[in-house]
Amino acid sequence: MHNLYSRLAVFLFFFTLFLYSPVSIAGLIKGIYITQTTAEDTTYLSYLIHRAKKVGISTFIVDLELPSSRYAKNIALLKQSGIHYVARIIIFPDGGKPEQVKSLKYWEKKYALIKAAVGYGADQIQLDYIRYSSKQPPSAQNAQDILRIIQWFKGRTPVPLQVDVFGISSFGPSKYIGQDIKLFSRSVDAFCPMVYPSHYEPFRVHAVKPYETVYSSLMAIHRQFNNKPLPFKLYPYIELSNYRYPLSQSKKLSYIYAQIQAAENANADGWYVWSPHNYYDNLFTVLETKHVK
């Protein structure tokens, strides 16, 4: 009988750990973007870890542009704190030129960063700016060219692969930049559409409709797959404010909250928040207070 109770106690202990982990409670992946400069600033990174964990943020998407010992040390700190590390690798800054898109030597240079990130313990790799320049003439071949690169990286990356795409590609193929969610879907583990309201025209209309903008974009992705279960995870990027139009503090909080609600109501698997300077106090306030208009 004593052994039975002992086994039951052990079971309940591990079951409780699973049940009350931040990821399993929410059922959603919640993440914030971190520059390499912030990642190497131990004091500020520690602050972000502390605040993030208190509000259930489980993932940091961290730039890797140049491997360094400080970066490796602080990524270890991140992981020891129970935060998932997703390494963001920029493939073609400002969009690829034809000679870059078709250069195996160029791909290998970027793959060296992926290998370094995996060595640091990356849970997943996120590819950004994996697209043609917007000046490229429109063609269905553009997406085929980008697909070939994605497949090349996918075949060599031992962890799940995420791909960032422009919000406009939620509504169908973008023939200029060569992003096609449906075409890429069998070669990608997760898509991260950048559904920032500030990036949609007419700008004034979308600036005051953050919920509708994010929700309609994500539902358009579901329609591309006939509203059937998506064959990939969906982690949209949202923004902390609309840089085109000043917002009061209260409206900034409402703006963030509306985008989060839209992502969750559109059945995304989670969401990532973008701040170029990594100032996330407004996000933390929203999550702490469940801010409502």
Whether 20 is covered by a domain: the verdict is no
* β-bridge pairing 237-239 and 270-274: parallel
Whether 199 is covered by a domain: the verdict is yes
Whether 3 is covered by a domain: the verdict is no
Say whether pLDDT at 282 is over 90: yes
Return the axis-axis angle of helices 69-80 and 42-54, rounded to nearest 10°: 20
Whether 17 is covered by a domain: the verdict is no
Whether 18 is covered by a domain: the verdict is no
Reduced to 3 states (helix: H, G, I; strand: E, B; else coil), residue 31 is: strand
Q: How far apart are CA 136 and CA 291, in angstroms?
A: 43
Q: Are 190 and 231 in contact (CB under 8 A)?
A: no
The encoded tokens of residue 116 equal 């370094």
Instruction: For residue 177, give the CATH number of its domain.
Output: 3.20.20.80
**Domain tally for the chain?**
1
Whether 52 is covered by a domain: the verdict is yes
Whether 181 is covered by a domain: the verdict is yes
Q: What are phi and psi of 60, to 5 degrees?
A: -115, 125
Q: What is the pLDDT confidence band of residue 19, given thresholds at 50, 70 and 90? A: very low
Cβ-proximal residues to 258 (8 Å cutoff; 6+ apart), any chain: 210, 211, 214, 293
Cβ-proximal residues to 32 (8 Å cutoff; 6+ apart), any chain: 48, 52, 57, 59, 60, 61, 272, 273, 275, 278, 280, 283
Whether 56 is covered by a domain: the verdict is yes
Q: Identify each DSSP E strand in 11-93 by its residue range.
A: 29-34, 59-63, 84-90
Domain that residue 202 falls in: 28-289
167: closest CA among 217, 219, 212, 114? 217
> The whole model's pTM is what?
0.89
Q: Are 168 and 210 in contact (CB under 8 A)?
A: no
Residue range 32-41, pLDDT digits in tens: 999 999 999 9
Residue range 118-147, pLDDT digits in tens: 999 999 999 999 999 999 999 999 999 999
